[in-house]
Structure 1
């Protein structure tokens, strides 16, 4: 027989199972990668502005752009893998 005390205890036990906690390591890694990418793009903007004003050498701009290109290629590769995994999930029979 289900009593109110049993129901309250079951609710208390289940509440901890669905409560938000630490994100999964993969989610945390993806979040860190996104923050690093945003920082890299911000660095490109700063260096480009500095080069236009004559405060930073052109060589540093070229180097920063090359680093940004590698970062962009990495982000696109990750995006492609996520889309591919999502499409694979959609193809699974229910």
Structure 2
């Protein structure tokens, strides 16, 4: 049986290896979220412009199509993350 002090020492040595990187989330995730927000903001601006008659209908349709692709991508990523999390939960300890 492992002594509790040995386990605590091993945990203390392993902590730096599993600690998150400085600055929080990886830059790829942060930039992807910023790009997604930018696409959604563009759709809002296009929709508002189309309702007030300031933008072309073609621009609105184009921005809606881009938003649809961005949303489908975000949902697919979320589904993969949830699937991976569920797989981890099924692993025997």
Pick the TM interval, shorter chain. 0.7 to 0.9
Residues 60-75 of structure 1 aligned to structure 2 (within 5 Å): 60-75=59-74
Deviation at 1:28, TM superposition (A): 2.0
* Runs (5+) with no aligned partner, structure 2: 1-12
For residue 57 of structure 1, what is the aligned residue in structure 2?
A: 56
Deviation of 1:19 after TM superposition, in Å, equals: 8.2
Distance 2:60 2:68 in 1: 12
Larger radius of gyration: 1
Match for residue 76 of structure 1? 75
Cα displacement (A) at 1:84: 0.4
1 CA distance for matches of 2:42 and 2:75? 19
Quote the residue 1:21 is aligned against: 22
- TM-score of the superposed pair, with normalisation by structure 1: 0.73
Q: 1:44: Cα distance to partner?
A: 0.4
The 5-angstrom pairing of residues 39-58 of structure 1 reads 39-58=38-57
Q: 2:72, 2:22 → 1: CA distance?
A: 32
Q: How much has 1:21 moved relative to structure 2?
A: 1.6
**Residue deviations 1:29-82 (CA, integer Å, cap 9, x gap):** 112111110111011001100111111000100000001000011001000000
CA–CA distance in 1 between the matches of 2:28 and 2:54?
A: 35
**For structure 1, which runs of at least 5 residues remain unmatched after alignment?**
1-13
